[in-house]
Amino acid sequence: MKSSIASKQELTNYGGFFDKESKLANLAQIEQVVASADFWNDQKTAQKLLQQRHRLESAIRKADFLEKTVADLEVLFEFAAEDPTSMDELVTTLRQLRSAVEEGEIEMLFTGQHDIANAIVDINPGAGGTDAQDWAEMLLRMYIKWAERRGFKVEIVDEQPGKEAGIKSATFTIAGDYAYGYMKSEIGVHRLVRLSPFNSGQSRETSFASVYAVPEVDDDFEIEILDKDIRIDTYRSSGAGGQHVNVTDSAVRITHLPTGIVVSCQNQRSQHQNREMAFKILRSRLYELEMQKRREELAKAEAAKMDISFGSQIRNYVLHPYRLVKDTRTKLETSDIDAVLDGRIDMFMKEYLLQQSRKTLSE
């Protein structure tokens, strides 16, 4: 039994993923600082420290779960051979352990400076007309479902509806640990093949949409934005309506003249909040632009800037004449396209991160 599933020593080794002892030591140091009388004198530093404390507490809980699970498995191993109920519980517990270990493995792949940051994501339709705009909206729903399933917070910053269906563009934020680390694996062109619901003949159509993500940088990061370099326009929100859509000219568009970067925000409650969010996104994009200049290889940035058309896609989603989702970079594929469009895309993200990790090790 033990040799066919896992050895006790192998299970015990899983606890090393989270380096619990060092995290407990770091947490104790933070608790001392938080308890000091002058802790809130510097609001920004205090907030960052509280975020770090939250991450450490989360990692420690994961380590505690692994330890408890391993202890439970040691008992179940002894009874499973003769007790069907224990066998069922053993299988269930092993699955839980596998899921926790895989999560730990993924987090170990996040080595980038800003992988832990929140993500700012753009989706734009490419070749394919109304079908492409509808496909862009399908991708937007896919990422929202993925993020919500992970417990991340999603906020639509700007969404331009298509004339007949779908969206002309969308910008949204994903808030949660390693949101950018995950979403950087989605940067590029996504291709859909299906029978079009937008023409009477229901012919097979190929549509494209691009996904681009940047990390949300801290407010105190030194990105200089001069007044003479920007143009700020206000306009009336063009959303579908609802209590949060202001009927005044509350939407804000900021154009950074030297780079041509344009940022729009219309989904906040006031012009002031829209302006603040637009500046935050502009700063993040300017930061990413500066980082691109420093990197020797611009493969990730170039993937998002390729023509949104044939030959540039990172992933194919085929609904007709067969059903298949295939990543062109890792060659990973699945026929369960409904699950993928429902936001179950972690396997594609993990495989991409593993591929990038192997490339780094081989260099």
In this prediction, residues 129-137 reach a mean pLDDT of 95
Residue 321, preceding bond cis, omega within 30 degrees? yes
In a domain, 113, yes or no: no
Count CB atoms within 10 A of the CB of residue 125.
Answer: 26
| SS3 call for 52 | helix
> Beta strand pairing status for 188-195 and 313-318?
parallel
Domain that residue 247 falls in: 227-294
In contact, 23 and 15? CB cutoff 8 Å: no
The answer as to whether 155 is a domain residue is yes
* Cα separation, 359 vs 363, whole angstroms: 6
Question: What's the predicted TM-score (pTM) here?
Answer: 0.69
Beta strand 204-215 with 230-235: parallel, antiparallel or unpaired? unpaired
- Residues 263, 278 contacting (CB under 8 angstroms): yes
pLDDT digits (tens, 9 = 90+) for 22-45: 888 888 998 999 899 888 888 878
Residue 114 inside a domain? The answer is: no
| Helices 346-362 & 84-108 angle (0-180, nearest 10) | 50
Give the mean pLDDT of the chain: 83
Three-state DSSP state, 317: strand
Are the C-beta atoms of residues 97 and 73 closer than 8 Å to each other?
yes
Q: Are residues 101 and 147 in the same domain?
A: no
Q: Are residues 329 and 203 in the same domain?
A: yes
Considering 139-153, 195-209, 231-245, 306-320, the range whose residues carry the highest mean pLDDT is 139-153
Alpha helices in 166-270 (DSSP H): 179-183
Structure tokens at 195: 């029978």
**42-59 pLDDT, tens per residue?**
887 887 788 778 878 877
**pLDDT band (50, 70, 90) for residue 264:** very high
**Could you tell me which of 227, 224, 233 has the C-alpha nearest to residue 251?**
233
Buried b (16+ CB within 10 A) or exposed e, 170-185: bbbbbebbbbbbbbbb
Q: Is 243 helix (H, G, I), strand (E, B) or coil?
A: coil
In a domain, residue 327? The reply is: yes
pLDDT of residue 248: 65
The domain boundary, picked from 108, 127, 150, lies at: 108
Residue with tokens 């009336």: 236
Which of 270, 294, 318 is where one domain is finished?
A: 294
Q: Quick one: 51 and 192 in the same domain?
A: no
Cβ-contact 304, 211 below 8 angstroms: yes
What H or E segment, with its residue span, contains residue 263? strand 261-265
Q: Which of 294, 322, 347 is the last residue of a domain?
A: 294
Contacts of 72 (CB under 8 A, 6+ apart): 93
State the CATH number of the domain containing residue 265: 3.30.160.20
Q: Is 7 among the domain residues? A: yes
